Structure 1
Amino acid sequence: MLSPEIREAIATAYAAMTLWEVAAVVLALTYLLLAMRENILCWYAAFASTAIYLFLFWDVSLLMESALQIFYLVIAVYGWWQWRHRNQDGETLHIHRWPAAMHIFAITGVGVLTLVFGYMLNNYTSAALPYLDSFTTWGAVVTTYMVTRKVLENWLYWIVIDGAAIYLYIDRGMYLTALLFVLYVILVIIGFFQWYTLYQNQSSSQDQTVTA
C-alpha cells in the first residue's frame, strides 16, 4: 500500500502534467510496444516522443537531459535506417545475440563511464545520486544502440536500467515517473520473451533454408 504522502504526490504530479507531457509518455509507450513486435514504426514514435521531451526538459532547465534527448533523436533515425535497409548479404536485420566478449565490453564500458561521470558530477556539481544517475544515462545509451542492432539481450539490460531508474525517481520525489518505469519493467520482460520467440523462429527458418 502506498502511503498518503506518496499518493498525494502522485495526484499532484498527475494534475501538473501538460498535454505535451502526456503525448510524450503515450508516444514513449507506443515506441516500446511497437519495438516488442519488431515493428519499424517504433522509431517514428521514439523520434516524436524524444522531440517533445527535448523541449520539455529545456523548459525546466534540465540541460543535460535535453542534450541526452538530442542523442536519442539521432539514434532514432539510425535505428530506423538499420531496420529498414538490407546488409551486404542482401538480408534485412534479424534479431541476434551478442557473444560474451561483447557483453563484457559493453558492461565494462558502462561501468567505467559511470565511475568517471559520477565522480565529476559528485565533485563539481550539486547533482543528486550522481553515480546512479550516470549509470542509468550511460546504460540507456548503450542499450538503445543494442535495440537499433536488434540484439536480443537489450531487454535484459533494460530490466536492470529501468529498475535502477525507479529508485532514482522515487528518491527525487518523481513518483508518477517511477510508476511509469514500473510499467516499463513489466513491458520489457514481456518484450524479451516475444523477441526470444521471434529469434528462435528466425533461427529455425535459417536452419531449414541451409538444409534445403
Structure 2
Amino acid sequence: MDLQAWFNLLVKQIVATSWLEWFSVSFGVAEVLLARKNKVALYPVGIVSILTASFLLVEAKLYAETVLNLYYLVMSVYGWAMWKSKAQSGASEVSRSTSKEKYITFSIALFGWLFLFLVLKHFTDSDVPIMDAFVSSTAWAGMWLLAKRKLENWIWLNVSNLVAIPLLFHKNLALFALLTLFLFIVAIFGYLDWRKALLAKEEEKIAPQNILL
C-alpha cells in the first residue's frame, strides 16, 4: 500500500470512529502522561479507559487483548493500592528490577504468550492468535513491573506497543493504533525520565559515602 492510499484509509477510519473509542482514547492518553510523571492518578484514569476499551476489543475479536484489559483492571487496582501505601509496599520510589523480578517478568511474558496462543488457536475464532497473544503477554509483564515502580516496565510495554500498532491498524481500530503509537513515543520519554530520577537517587546515596571517605 502506498503512502497516499494509507493516508486515505486512515482518514476514513478516523471519520468512522465511534464516540466510545474517542472517549477511551482520551483517557488512555491522560493515563500514560500521568504515568510518565510518576503520578498515582494514572490508575483511576486508566480504569475508565480500560472499561470502555474492553467493549470495542470484543467487537474486533481481539480476545487476548480483552483478557489483557481485565488483567490491566486487576493490576490497576493492585498498583493503585501499592502506590498509595508507600511505606508498606516498598514502591514509593523508582527502582531497578532485581534478578528474581527479571525472572518473573520473563516467565510472565513467555508462558503468558504460550497460554494465550493455545487458547486463541483452539477455543476462539481469532485470526491473529500469535500477534494478539504476544501483545498481551508482554504487556502483562510490563504492567506487573509498573505496579512495582520498576524502570524496566517501559521496555516491556514498548515491546508490546511495537507489535500492537500494526495489529490494531489491521483491525481497523485507527484511533487505538494512533494511541498506541503515541504511547510508544511517550514510553521512551517515560523511561528516560524515570532513569534520570533513579540515577539522581543513586547519586544521593553515594555522595554521603564519598564525604565520609
Q: What is the TM-score normalised by the length of structure 1? A: 0.84
| Distance of 2:208 and 2:81 partners within structure 1 | 26
Structure 1 stretch displaced more, 78-87 or 97-106: 97-106
2:85 is matched with which residue? 85
Residues of 2 paired with 1:200 and 1:147: CA distance? 18
Give the deviation of 1:64 after TM superposition: 5.2
For residues 62-104 of structure 1, give each alpha carbon's deviation from its aligned partner in whole angstroms, at most 9, with x where no partner exists.
Answer: 6654443333222212111111113349x66211111344324
Q: Which residue of 1 aligns with 2:47?
A: 47
Q: Secondary structure at the match of 2:86?
A: coil
Q: Is the 8 A contact 2:65 2:135 kept in 1?
A: no
Aligned residues: 211
| 1:118 aligned partner | 117
Deviations along 1:161-212, one digit per CA (max 9) or x if unpaired, are 1111123224434444333322221111111000001111222334457778
For residues 92 and 112 of structure 1, the distance between their equivalents in structure 2, rounded to whole angstroms, comes to 26
Query: More deviation in 181-190 or 147-156?
Result: 181-190
Letter of the aligned partner of 1:15 in structure 2?
V
Partner of 1:184: 183
Structure 1 segment 168-207 matched on structure 2, within 5 A: 168-207=167-206
1:48–1:36 Cα change, 3 Å: same
Query: Which runs of structure 2 are paired with 1:1-212 in the superposition (5 Å)?
Result: 3-57=3-57, 65-88=65-88, 93-207=92-206
How far, CA to CA, are the matches of 2:107 and 2:77 in structure 1? 27
Letter paired with 1:36: R
Q: What per-residue deviation string (whole Å, max 9, x for no partner) do you get for residues 5-58 of structure 1?
A: 322221122112233321211111111111111111111211111122234445
Q: Distance in 2 between matches of 1:138 and 1:38?
A: 23
Consecutive unaligned residues of structure 1, counting only runs of 5 or more, are none
The separation in 1 between residues aligned to 2:58 and 2:171, in whole angstroms, is: 18
TM-score by length of 2: 0.84
RMSD of the alignment, in Å? 2.8
One-letter amino acid matched to 1:130: P
Task: Tell me how far apart the structure 1 counterparts of residues 173 and 51 of structure 2 sit (CA, whole Å).
Answer: 21
Q: Deviations over 1:105-143 (max 9, x none)?
A: 422432233123313423443312212211111111121
CA contact (8 A) 2:20 2:52 kept: yes
Which one-letter code corresponds to 1:17 in the other structure? Answer: T
Q: Indicate the larger mover: 107-116 or 138-147.
A: 107-116
Gaps of 5+ in 2: none
